[in-house]
Structure 1
Amino acid sequence: MPFTIASQVSFEEDIKKSRFQAIAVPVENEQDVKDFLELNKDVSTTHQCWAWKIGHHVRFNDDGEPSGTAGRPILATIEGNELTNILVLVNRWYGGIKLGTGGLVRAYGGCAGQCLLLAEKIELIEKKKVSFSCQFNEWAIFQYELNQQQIEYTEEYTATGVSVIALLQVHQIEPLTLKIQDVSRGREQLKVIEDIQND
């Protein structure tokens, strides 16, 4: 069962005069990653190394540290904690003492690990995007149903009725499918929109 973290956490430590600061944050997609990294650009740091994992997609960046000493250990920590939909950024302010490659791996991986220990893990519930249409007089029934189950949706009014896009947890798909067939007397179908993963 995949887990992510409930909210942003951070951890700081000094290692041989270098200051390390790890920030872990839950992310939904690559745009979230870009926005967070843009927002947390810090010119005072010597290095800003990071790793993220969303589903099966992973990326990491050593930001000028020797290859494999920063981004990869951070990613290993994410995977070791069985987390996904998460970004971990580790900032380093160089203190004048070289740590060597082994020291860097331990510092980046260790700082990221300590940070993740502070995070509250939550089960990641897979959601699928679905669409369906209904007539104006049926919309109130579906709207009530969606609101009751706290389902996120957007509706668009067309000439013939209402077209709806909703984000459902997997276990909610079948009951809603049956409801739609029932209310529309088999006229309408629930369609699952395949998630487009942009790599």
Structure 2
Amino acid sequence: MYSISAIIEANLEVKKSRFQAFAVPVSSEQAVKDFLESYRDHTTTHQCWAWKIGHDVRFNDDGEPSGTAGRPILTVIEGQNLTNVLILVNRWYGGVKLGKGGLVRAYGGCASQAIQLAERIELIATQSVQLHCEFGELAKIEYELQQLEIAFQADYLADGVLITAEMTDDQIDVINPFLQNLTRGREQLSIQDNL
């Protein structure tokens, strides 16, 4: 899966109607709401959008005929294998009706232009993990985590140290046997459920 690195703008004119697309990286529904609120433009005829975050999707036709704006924008996002992306397309009506097919092509085309201009970044899935160690084992574990460039948090407890980190599957495949070897099988990684 991929996302985009920064906000990108694209413009398109179709039969005197002007379309303006913003492709935006987002990580939460609140980020979507904040962006849409800050980019509210009362001079537009329609502000249509679609977003995908993980497996969640939403789209809005904002008064255009059903399925002619939000759905084509979402199709662009999904067709490019993107997630954590919002695309907002503004339309200023130019006096000439485009018809359903024309609207689908215009909204999808403007959204597609924005995505084509955007720098794509690969999203690497991580899992939240915890491990417990004795105080005497901490230095070796910290060294191994640093070698793999894993950021972590260490919480000191009465009976040792609880380490929390985000790891890729490849990093888990390295750290888990290391931890089991270091602790002689006493400890292993605990993968946390991401709620």
TM class, shorter-length: 0.7 to 0.9
Q: Which residue of 1 aligns with 2:6?
A: 7
Structure 2 portions without partners, runs of 5+: none
Q: Which residue of 2 aligns with 1:113?
A: 112
- Structure 2 vs 1, CA of residues 127 and 12 (structure 1 numbering), >3 Å: closer, same or farther? same
Look up the equivalent residue of 2:147 and give its one-letter code. Answer: Q
SS in 2 for 1:88: strand
Q: Which residue of 1 aligns with 2:173?
A: 174
Q: Which residue of 2 aligns with 1:63?
A: 62
What's the TM-score, normalizing by structure 2?
Answer: 0.86
Look up the equivalent residue of 1:119 and give its one-letter code. Answer: A
Larger Rg: 2
Give the CA deviation at 1:115: 0.9
CA distance in structure 1 between the aligned counterparts of 2:129 and 2:34, rounded to whole angstroms: 27
Worse-superposed segment, 40-49 or 59-68? 40-49
**2:108 is the counterpart of 1:81:** no
Q: Which residue of 2 aligns with 1:156?
A: 155
CA distance in structure 2 between the aligned counterparts of 1:95 and 1:174, rounded to whole angstroms: 58
- CA displacement, residues 159-197 of structure 1 (integer Å, 9 cap, x when unaligned): 33332221111111111111222223322220112333x
Identity %: 57
- CA displacement, residues 54-109 of structure 1 (integer Å, 9 cap, x when unaligned): 33322111122221111100011112222223221212233333322222111110
CA distance in structure 2 between the aligned counterparts of 1:155 and 1:40, rounded to whole angstroms: 41
Structure 1 portions without partners, runs of 5+: none
- Structure 2 vs 1, CA of residues 123 and 44 (structure 1 numbering), >3 Å: closer, same or farther? same
Equivalent residue runs for 1:38-53 within 5 Å:
38-53=37-52
Look up the equivalent residue of 2:174 and give its one-letter code. Answer: P
Q: Which residue of 1 aligns with 2:91?
A: 92
What's the TM-score, normalizing by structure 1?
Answer: 0.84
Worse-superposed segment, 176-185 or 106-115? 176-185
CA distance in structure 2 between the aligned counterparts of 1:180 and 1:37, rounded to whole angstroms: 46
Q: Which residue of 1 aligns with 2:32?
A: 33
SS in 2 for 1:83: coil
CA distance in structure 2 between the aligned counterparts of 1:177 and 1:188, rounded to whole angstroms: 9
**2:136 is the counterpart of 1:132:** no
- CA displacement, residues 93-137 of structure 1 (integer Å, 9 cap, x when unaligned): 333333222221111100001111112223332211212222333
CA distance in structure 1 between the aligned counterparts of 2:108 and 2:122, rounded to whole angstroms: 23
Look up the equivalent residue of 1:113 and give its one-letter code. Answer: S
SS in 2 for 1:76: helix
Q: Which residue of 1 aligns with 2:23?
A: 24
Q: Which residue of 2 aligns with 1:101?
A: 100
CA distance in structure 1 between the aligned counterparts of 2:193 and 2:181, rounded to whole angstroms: 24
CA distance in structure 1 between the aligned counterparts of 2:23 and 2:145, rounded to whole angstroms: 32
- CA displacement, residues 23-70 of structure 1 (integer Å, 9 cap, x when unaligned): 112333434333333333333333221112233322111122221111
